[in-house]
């Protein structure tokens, strides 16, 4: 917010017929609106991830305050720090920040849409059986058929044993890779996978062909 935005202006003509502007008085209503908008901007930025905050290239004092306020509970101290951030934002041109924030929002919205695509395919594969798998492989011929079968088999076993859905999360990640989706956030709690789950993923690749042969026999029976 520039300094001149805080004033109402009037004008008159000088002796050469040129317009001369001069400030009459501060516009308090406009100032309040500007400060409220900057406060909201600071609050919105504080909800971003560290990576997203870093991408905004904020001045060091604002950047540090934003990272600090993002960790604070919604109490008086947080509001005071947000007011400090508001004052610092008021001293700089925030248009570049707003432009970068808009790009982040657009990317996030795109990521949500892609997440839904992956989620729909995962649900379809889990519930649709052989037909769904065939349809997916027709669209994604480079997919590892045996790996998908193994994941689907383990999803069923985990559901029957009422175990955590590790294989469902692994399937989600694998589908993301196949569909060339590389969003910043790993949706559906996939980021909650621990080291044990990562080892499980490797085991799926290393499993023998015996169960896959059984799966193929089942398909032949269906035919």
Q: What is the mean pLDDT of residues 68-85?
A: 90
Query: How is residue 153 written in tokens?
Result: 């088999």
Q: Which helix (H) or strand (E) holds 218?
A: helix 210-222
Pick from 43, 36, 50, 34: nearest CA to 1: 34
* Torsional class of 201: left (φ above 0), alpha (ψ -120 to 50), beta (otherwise): alpha
Q: In the predicted model, is pLDDT for residue 57 greater than 90?
A: yes
What pLDDT, in 10s, does the model give residues 58-74? 999 999 999 999 999 88
Tens of pLDDT along 149-204? 999 999 999 999 998 889 999 999 999 888 887 654 444 444 343 334 444 444 43
What is the model's pLDDT at position 45?
94
Q: Are 147 and 209 in contact (CB under 8 A)?
A: no
Q: For the chain, what percent of residues have pLDDT higher than 90?
A: 45
DSSP state of 177: H
Q: What is the rounded CA–CA span in Å between residue 53 and residue 67?
A: 8
What pairs with residue 7 in β-bridges? Answer: 26
List the beta bridge partners of residue 10: 22
- Show the domains of the chain with their CATH numbers: 3-93 (no CATH), 110-222 (1.10.60.30)
**Left, alpha or beta for 180 (phi > 0: left; psi -120 to 50: alpha)?**
left
């Amino acid at each position: 917010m520039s300094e001149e935005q805080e004033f109402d202006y009037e004008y008159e003509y000088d002796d050469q017929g040129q317009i001369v502007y001069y400030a009459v008085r501060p516009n308090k209503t406009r100032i309040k609106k500007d400060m409220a908008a900057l406060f909201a901007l600071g609050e919105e930025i504080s909800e971003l991830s560290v990576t997203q905050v870093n991408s905004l290239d904020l001045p060091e004092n604002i950047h540090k305050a934003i990272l600090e306020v993002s960790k604070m509970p919604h109490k008086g101290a947080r509001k005071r720090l947000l007011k400090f951030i508001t004052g610092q934002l008021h001293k700089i041109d925030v248009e570049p920040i707003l432009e970068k924030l808009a790009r982040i929002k657009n990317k996030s919205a795109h990521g949500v849409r892609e997440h839904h695509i992956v989620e729909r395919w995962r649900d379809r594969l889990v519930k649709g059986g052989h037909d769904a798998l065939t349809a997916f492989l027709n669209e994604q011929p480079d997919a590892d058929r045996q790996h998908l079968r193994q994941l689907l088999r383990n999803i069923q076993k985990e559901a029957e044993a009422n175990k955590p859905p590790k294989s469902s999360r692994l399937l989600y990640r694998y589908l993301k890779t196949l569909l060339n989706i590389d969003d910043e956030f790993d949706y559906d709690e996939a980021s909650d996978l621990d080291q044990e789950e990562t080892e499980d993923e490797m085991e799926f690749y290393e499993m023998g062909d015996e169960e896959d042969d059984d799966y193929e026999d089942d398909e032949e029976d269906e035919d």
